[in-house]
Amino acid sequence: MLSKLSNFWYYHKNHVLAAIILLVIAVFVIIVVPGGTPSPDIQVGYVTDGREVGEAVIEEMNSYFENVIKDVDGDNKRYMDFIPLIGPRVDVEFSSDGVQLILIDGNTLDLYKNQGVFEPLDAVVKKHGLDVSMDERVLSMTEGQKETHIFALPVSKIKYLLDRGFPGDNYYLAVRMEYENTPEARTKNKNSYSVLEKMLEYRG
C-alpha cells in the first residue's frame, strides 16, 4: 500500500499540488472577496414590487454617505448595502435581526408600526422642522406607551430620495429598533441616524 502511494505521489505530485493551490485560491475568492463587495456597515431594506435600486444609484449613495458612516467591522471600508424586500421576505425582516433603515409602503407601515420594531423619530422631525401633521399614518402608540410618537417619515419630505428616483407617494422611511445590545448593532444604529441626518440636510 505504501509503495502504491509513493508511486502515485511520484507520478502525480505536480497535479496534486496544482489542485491544492487552485482550491486555496477558490476558497479565498469565495470567502474573502465575494464579488469584491465589502461587508456592510449599514443595511437599507426597501419594500418593492420587483423593481430594484440600480447599481448607479447604489454607487452614488455610497459615495455621498461614506464620510458619515463609521466602519463597523474594521475592514477600513464604509459600505451601505441595499436589500430588496419582496413578499415573504418582508415578514422575515420583522421577525429577525436585519436592516437598520427601511423604506416601506403605507400598508406595510400600518401592519408593523404598533409592534415596537421602529424607533420614534419625534426628535428628528422637530430638529428639521418637518411638517408631518397631515399624514396620520406615521403616528402610532405602541403597546405599553401612553403617548403617540412619529415612527416614520414620508419620502415625499425627503428630497434626497426623491431626486434618486424613490417614490414619494405612499412610501415611508423608518429606523429599525436595535435588534441586540452589541457594539456592532449600536454602531450600525448610529450609522442609520447619520445617514438620515445627511438626507434631511440635502438641498439639491
pLDDT digits (tens, 9 = 90+) for 19-66: 566 665 655 545 445 545 678 999 999 988 778 899 999 999 999 999
Average per-residue pLDDT for the chain: 84
User: How confident is the model at residue 95, as a pLDDT?
Assistant: 62
User: Cβ neighbours of residue 59 under 8 Å, at least 6 residues apart?
Assistant: none
pLDDT band at residue 12 under the 50/70/90 scheme: low
User: Cβ neighbours of residue 158 under 8 Å, at least 6 residues apart?
Assistant: 173, 199, 200
User: How confident is the model at residue 56, as a pLDDT?
Assistant: 94
- Cα torsion 192, 198, 203, 204: sign: negative
Considering only residues 71 and 30, tell me which one the structure prediction assigns the higher pLDDT: 71
pLDDT by residue (tens digit) across 143-173?
A: 777 889 999 999 999 999 999 999 999 999 9
Q: How far is CA 77 from CA 37, 38, 40, 71, 72, in A?
A: 10, 7, 9, 6, 9
User: How confident is the model at residue 174, as a pLDDT?
Assistant: 96
Q: Does the pLDDT value for residue 6 go beyond 90?
A: no
Average pLDDT of the residues in 184-197: 94
Using alpha carbons, select from 127, 179, 181 the residue that is nearest to residue 153. Answer: 127
Q: Does the pLDDT value for residue 89 go beyond 60?
A: yes
User: How confident is the model at residue 179, as a pLDDT?
Assistant: 77
pLDDT cut 70: percent of the chain above it: 79
Average pLDDT of the residues in 132-137: 92
User: How confident is the model at residue 104, as a pLDDT?
Assistant: 93
**Number of neighbouring beta carbons within 10 Å of residue 158:** 23
